[in-house]
Structure 1
Amino acid sequence: MIDDFKHKGKREQLVRLLREKGIEDENVLQAINRVPRHLFIDSAFEEFAYQDNAFPIAAGQTISHPYTVAKQTSLLHVLKGDKVLEIGTGSGYQAAVLVEMGAEVYTIERQKELFDFSQRIFRKIQIRPKYATYGDGYKGLPSFAPFDRIIVTAGSATIPKTLLTQLKIGGIMVIPLGTTNQMMTTFLRVSERDFERMEFGDCQFVPMLERTEKEVKR
């Protein structure tokens, strides 16, 4: 698991690019500067890991563009010590960025292959979420709720109300909403029943899927 000066130099170049593209949150930028993205993707793509591109990972999923990770994370307005629920661990890169920002990260992944991969990487680079599990992201983690922040890293055709109920009053959820055309959307919980919704432009994520009965019985 090599992370040498070449990789660190490429991360610095990536951070400069993200600044040029409008990312202003220094906590996000510094976390991205510390997390070795090349370890979260297939070694075949290592040379290109710090370009602003998405890459395929296991189970037909992708690791998002660094700009997308930075933008979505910025919209969370994470504070050190915040309790953050991530729906869709993927290869683990987004969770690692949140951990590096000082968040207490709870993450859930429905694809066993990806879940196992992310756990191996977390152990090797010693960046560990507070809690990681294999399960149905649609259900969230009610036993650990409420959360200060919730981030959904897959596109949802509808608003997952079960997740909204797991958000603290004053908490923020960031989620790509839509099917073919997705919109990056935030929900601020202002009371037990009321949420303020804002939209932040088009985006493209793999679809959010529920676990099938077959998967549940494994």
Structure 2
Amino acid sequence: VHIIGYPCKGVIDNTKVAAALEGKVEPGLVSAVKETEDTLELSFPDQTITLKKNDVVADKCSRCLYPNAVLSDTFEGEQREPVVTEDPYADLEAFEKLSLEERQAFWEKEMSRCIRCYACRNACPLCVCRDHCVATSREPHWLSQADSTREKLFFQLIHATHLAGRCTGCGECSRACPVDIPVGLFKRTMTRAAAKMFDFEGGVNPEAALPLQTFAMEEPTIKEREW
């Protein structure tokens, strides 16, 4: 296997594009897209609309530390410098300032919109147990098929825990959601915890042992004896 790596220029968020075009034109009528370093030029049957990339780029791009392939045998293209414009976990910190009741109400509202299509699971490059997923397994029978926020939230919590220490923050789970539920918040909460507790970052070092697959009598960063 020979791995060819490329730099990433960022990903456009289609929901942001649709919002920018709202009231101006039907997004589905776009016939061509011309890209420059800073803009997107969208061609429609009767007009051309130019959008600034910074206005429609995915949120994850503003906190990406690795715009270049981390592992490759051959690298094609020019290396790009990370452009981190915000605290990677600023949105989490703002969310966690809400009271427990407010956070519970938020997730109950969001999960009530979930249609249980499992696009979030299917889009995840690190969810590797699809043949034995708790969402479909009947032995053991972890989840029911009840259309309830409880069952939907239960699946997301299991999925986030399963990915703890492995999630790379690609954001595909949130992007794939057809009803725009920010399920990536669950995974990023666990990613931040893994970084803080085990000084570990998923997807960076292929030789590193995953924190939840190793055992130590005392973790140097947890300092349990000082509690």
TM score, norm. by length of structure 1: 0.26
Q: Which structure dedicates a bigger proportion of its chain to strand? A: 1
Mark the structure with the bigger radius of gyration.
2
